Structure 1
Amino acid sequence: MTKHYDMIAIGAGSGGLSAVERASEYGKKCLVIEAKTIGGTCVNVGCVPKKVMWFAANAATQINNAQGFGFDIEVKNFSWKKLKQGRDNYIKGITDWYDGYLEKLGIDYIHGFGQLVNKNTVSVNGEEYTAEHIVLSPGGKPSVPNIEGAEYGITSDGFFELTALPKKVAVIGGGYIGVELAGVLNALGSEVEIFGRAGTLLRGFDSMIQEALDKDYTAHGITLHHGTTIDKVSSDKTIFTNHGDLVVLTKSFGQLVEIQ
């Protein structure tokens, strides 16, 4: 027998969860469906884990600056593995909380790939469910540019799956995602180069921010390649640009090519 709801949300990210939460406050019976992990992009591979990485990078920066303020501090080692474990446990705590919160509100949750059958019917895991209102909030995924050899790189999602700090990194894209990850990796010890098509980082942002960021990143040792497009990435991690440059990320470096 088909189960009926007042509202069904396909996607348990910020949009879908907000919709069913609000509807439940008005006494509506709701179902939310998620194919991946509850919480969506922001909680799992977006702003929340990124902020954890930013705090780690900020701690590294403060430690490196401490001697200038009279502190005798020496960093003997840094464990990316421990940082990743702590970050992943923090995220798991949030997703586990969501499970209990939905149960408390009386909202049903199904893990599976929801498909819209018609305007009032959703299919998931071989079962059909109906509702007066269906919210489509499936979220998004990183866009991979049409570059030959793009498969040799990773997206921002892959950044959160790294099991070790890469020694050398090429970040393709000078937007805010690439800029944020580049800054984190640089602060934690990676050698970083950014390749962007525009004449500055953060195209479309305030010019004062662009100028300050260019100056700061250069001062911190990040190599900036403005006005640069990537023609090809080879299997040995050689990057071919429109300027005829060859940037080789040697395999022994534990390299990363991040495609934004």
Structure 2
Amino acid sequence: MDTDYDAIVIGGGSAGLSFARHAAQLGRKVALIERAELGGTCVNRGCVPKKLLWTVADALQRGSGLTRAGLLGPNPQVDMERLCAARGKKIESIRHSYRDKLHEAGVALIEDTAELTAPGEVTISGQRLHAPRIVLATGGHPVKPKMEGADLTCDSDEVLNWTALPGAIAIIGGGYIGCEMAAIHAALGVRVTLVTDTDRVLTEFSEAAARVGQRNLEAQGIRVITGCTPDAVRRSKDGLELVLDSETTLRVDRVVAATGRAPNLEALGALKDRVALTDKGVLKIDDSFETSLPGLHAVGDCADRLPLTPVASSDGETLAMQLFGTHRAPVDLSHVATTAFVLPPVGEVGQPSSDAIFEEATLSPLSAALRADAPQDYWGLGGSEAAVTSVSLVAEGAHEAIAWAAQLLLHRPDRETMRRAIGVHPSTSEELMG
């Protein structure tokens, strides 16, 4: 094995893969070290399996609303065995494609556990590798709550690998991960209770959009309990008990903890005390993604950036360009579109807040006339009439539309100019554009 490289990246998730491939394409000698599966959280325990489950859940949710309205026959049943097989096949194909792309780019893939033992030095299985630039792209992991019985809960990694559906679940945490798990599993036929210690769910999004998202969760039949911090999880005769307080206990088959994530920093090894962290516990970086230790860079979920796959991929490519190509600045996080895959999705770009939204509307889509669950749509524009700086959407297709909105906002359009475009009739976009 070669021991000297231009750059060594630790972690084969979205950020590490992007950096390694682009750095190699710029003619540099690069090694990528991954201790588990290529693709990281997104491919193996996050975005990809979630979106595959959501695709089935979305179809079932639309159909069930029509069934309850008497317009369709009985609801179809999910074949979990075939769904899991299809999911596994897709994930494996993505891993293979990443492996092929690394090989084509000339990246040395090392499947082992790495540890920093000195500046510019990485040790694997007793062998020392050297590079003037080390890149940490080690991602993160779910964190369970500090409470009695926390070890009895499932985290999001485990949920996305379930091969059978429980009858009833309680989810602790009202962020986008908890809400996505709630919406998906309710549509799949699971009885869901969502418990959050905040006054509303989806606090990552503006309040108006989040409120509509919460009403849609409740319209699915999901019980939402806000302002509550559970006391304990305990085994019961036929499942689990989630103790909310001295008077209230939920009896369910599974309890899911969607209570945040923490960075994977084990690879820092002996250098851990020499690297600065933020208040959130992630690696502090500058505009060149460099940590407080010269020559050590960080990208992806372990760094102080937005923990989203597209940001990780962009930052990996940007760092490769900064180190070995033409310099460019990191993408402005205010231009990053985000989505919660609830039903219908909630999407935003521009970091809107309630006091910045100058025009908004909540409405019932035409499809609600035929569906017993009657979901609501919402749109909001932030900034001002002279310069629109944010867009919020709750609607079918919001996860697709919000990305186009992000490109539109790069030009800071005025509201009157936006009205000159004509939307599709009948649709929620028509209301926004009119």
8 Å contact 2:144–2:150 — kept in the other structure? yes
The alignment partner of 2:198 has SS state of coil
The question of 1:258 aligning with 2:256 is answered yes
Residues 16-95 of structure 1 mapped to structure 2, 5 A cutoff: 16-67=16-67, 72-95=72-95
Amino acid in structure 2 at the alignment position of 1:45: R
Shift in CA distance, 95/179, structure 1 to aligned 2, threshold 3 Å:
same
2-structure distance, mates of 1:89, 1:97: 12
Say which structure, 1 or 2, has more relative contact order (CA 8 Å, 6+ apart): 1
1:246 matches 2:244: no
User: Aligned in 2, Cα 1:176/1:76: closer, same or farther, shift over 3 Å?
Assistant: closer
Q: Within 5 Å, which residues of 2 pair with 1:5-24?
A: 5-24=5-24
Counterpart amino acid of residue 53 in structure 2? M
The aligned residue for residue 252 of structure 1 is none
Residue type at the aligned position of 1:177: I
Question: What letter matches 2:244 in structure 1?
Answer: T
Moved over 6 A (4+): 68-71
Query: Is residue 126 from structure 1 mapped to residue 126 from structure 2 by the alignment?
Result: yes
C-alpha distance in 2 between matches for 1:227 and 1:165: 28
Deviation for aligned residue 1:67? 5.0
- 1:128 CA drift (Å): 1.9
> Alpha-carbon deviation of 1:75?
3.8
Structure 1 pair 67–150 and aligned structure 2 pair: CA distance change class (3 A): closer
Alignment check: 8 A CA contact 1:9 1:137 kept: yes
- Report the residue type matching 2:78 in the other structure: F
**Aligned residues of 1:63 and 1:73 also touching (Cα < 8 A):** no
Give the unaligned 5+ runs of structure 2.
259-434
> Greater CA radius of gyration, 1 or 2?
2
Cα distance in 2 for residues equivalent to 1:204 and 1:43: 23
Deviation at 1:203, TM superposition (A): 2.1
Q: CA deviation at 1:127?
A: 2.1
Counting only pairs closer than 5 Å after superposition, residues 56-205 of structure 1 correspond to structure 2 as 56-67=56-67, 72-205=72-205
The worse-fitting range, judged by mean Cα deviation, of 59-68 and 107-116 is 59-68
Q: Is the 8 A contact 2:67 2:75 kept in 1?
A: no
Give the equivalent residue in structure 2 for 1:208: 208
Give the Cα separation in 1 of the matches to 2:200 and 2:105. 48
Partner of 2:356 in structure 1? none
Structure 1, residues 88-124: CA drift from partner, whole Å, max 9, x if none?
Answer: 1111100011111111111011111111111111111
Q: Give the letter aligned to residue 29 of structure 1.
A: K
Cα distance in 1 for residues equivalent to 2:214 and 2:69 = 26
